[in-house]
Amino acid sequence: MTTESTPVPSPAPVPPGAPVEMTGAEAVVRSLEMLGITDVFGLPGGAILPVYDPLLDSRKLRHILVRHEQGAGHAAEGYASSSGKLGVAIATSGPGATNLVTAIADAHMDSVPILAITGQVFSNLMGTDAFQEADIVGITMPITKHSFLVKDPAEIPGTIAAAYHIATTGRPGPVLVDITKDAQQAKFQFRWPPKVDLPGYRPITKAHGKQVAAAAQLLAEAKRPVLYVGGGIIRSHASDELLALAEATNAPVVTTLMARGAFPDSHQQHLGMPGMHGTVPAVIALQEADLLLALGSRFDDRVTGKAALFAPNAKVVHVDIDPAEISKIRTADVPIVGDLKDVLVDLLAAYGDATSDGQPDIDEWWATLDGLRSEFPLGFSKPSDGLLAPQHVIQRIGELTGPEGVYAAGVGQHQMWAAQFIKYERPNSWLNSGGAGTMGYAVPAAMGAKVAQPDRVVWAIDGDGCFQMTNQELATCTLNDIPIKVAIINNSSLGMVRQWQTLFYDGRYSNTDLNTGHDTVRVPDFVALAEAYGALGIRVTKEEEVDAAIKLALETNDRPVVIDFVVSADAMVWPMVPQGVSNSYIQYARDHSPAFSEED
């Protein structure tokens, strides 16, 4: 992750000699080219039309025409999350811009670097309720790192360069640049590189040495340490540094939903995912720890349960590049602000100094945790209704595809099963909407990931509810030769909502039946829908058909593939800590129920 304020990246040739006269619209395209952007997702409209004319002539930018602006935003997210590069989405004013809002909010919650460029009505019409006018800068200000409004064409190069810098440095996130139509049409003298001066923006990357030494000392003294790893490790490209620290300390590691793949699942020190649907060893390790080393994690409510009762006996070292996150939920005994990639190198060295006389003995801690792993392995039961077990389907997708694949999930039960039953061995292989929980994320995110990583197999693991929100992007995939694989985990319902209705509303299934997987009624028929979009459609209803369908999907690379896996509606995500309950719920259930298992 870069942190310097200058220079602006300029991989393309700088215009020689004197400044070049061009329109603001041409400057938008030229600035993106100069920043090294190669792919953008968008949908034209009146207020952004001037930009689309020079875009047609660009030989350095590939524009992918989406079917809905939300798809452009999620595609930009998937592009960024799978590659670590900036994702770019373009939309027109009014509804085009507001259709980007969900994806922008999603990127803000999950620290994804995207640039949203929107057209705005003529500056003299702003504030008059002109056709397709919306104050998109005001709308997005709470959900971006910054939102710019540009009325002068001469400001376009500097603004886009500044937006690039803000989005990709410090804590990554979305930046919006809204450009009036008159600014796009007017001419000016284009210069590159522009001066980028952001005096109020100075991300702290180098941690204070005394804080690092204090953290190392706590780690050297701890008897029950846990490395609580969040998505910041992935965003800072610090997985190698994490592995080095973990192996040096021999401390157990848990990876949150946003951090899956930051630490190899196959590693002996990995306890799995913590939280509401985390593994029993991971949940109990956090509760019983005497030290939490929180690395790029934000103590989300889905991890902590009732925050006041979370890890009650643990001291906390909290490392994050965003000072606003530290002590926001849990007061840090040792707060460290800095870039994790740099901090972990310093912390490893400081730990070596703190343990020069010998390593701490945590064998008893490991004996407890290994006992939990042996007693409570992650598992599932075969459905009694004869339909497919969704966990088995997802597990086989992961096993047959392997760790080099990319897996984008929607939101709900299938998301949790994908986080649990696919083994992640590398960062940037797991994409999901963690903070916002956006249904419809998977298909366009997978599309963006495939554009960024064309040589990797990319799966969208989706629910029948999520799929119906953004499946139109299959047309985009077909027409642009983006052969993603889509696995619809079709339980004919809004599965996670139905699970809560089963557990907390006496099985009163109010408005959660989608009628997508019944033998007599399938609205829509996903196989027919896939074929209408030019994709290969497959339906699987029997366990013995699962592997063959996945293998056919893996062998098919001339078009998208959609597999309709008809699964049991009664399958649930286990374990589960109910919302608002202490994570000690798992401890209590384990200690007081002889029959307790991960499915209780």
Residues taking part in catalysis: 69, 131-132, 181, 496
Helix axes 156-168, 24-34, angle to 10 degrees: 40
**Chain centroid to CA 432:** 4
Is 418 within 8 Å of 371 (Cβ atoms)? Answer: no
447: nearest Cα among 419, 414, 474, 415: 474
Farthest CA pair distance, the chain? 80
Phi, psi of 217 (to 5 degrees): -65, -45
HEC string for 455-506: CCCEEEEEEHHHHHHHCCHHHHHHHCCCCCEEEEEECCECHHHHHHHHHHCC
Q: For residue 385, what are its two tokens?
A: 């209704």
404: nearest Cα among 478, 483, 459, 341: 459
Q: Which one-letter amino acid corresponds to residue 73?
A: G
| Bridge-based pairing state of the strands 291-295 and 225-229 | parallel
How far apart (Å, rounded) are the C-alpha atoms in residues 548 and 554? 10
How many residues are recorded in the chain?
A: 600
Q: For residue 106, what are its two tokens?
A: 């999603």
Q: What angle do CA 211, 212, 213 make, to 5 degrees?
A: 90
Please count the other Cβ atoms lying within 10 Å of the Cβ belonging to residue 365: 22
In sequence order, which residues have a C-beta less than 8 Å from that of residue 25 and are 6 or more positions away? 50, 51, 53, 54, 184, 185
Q: Is 538 helix (H, G, I), strand (E, B) or coil?
A: strand
Phi-psi region of 593 (alpha: psi -120 to 50; beta: other; left: phi over 0): beta
Specify the DSSP class assigned to residue 9. P
Helix axes 101-110, 69-83, angle to 10 degrees: 20
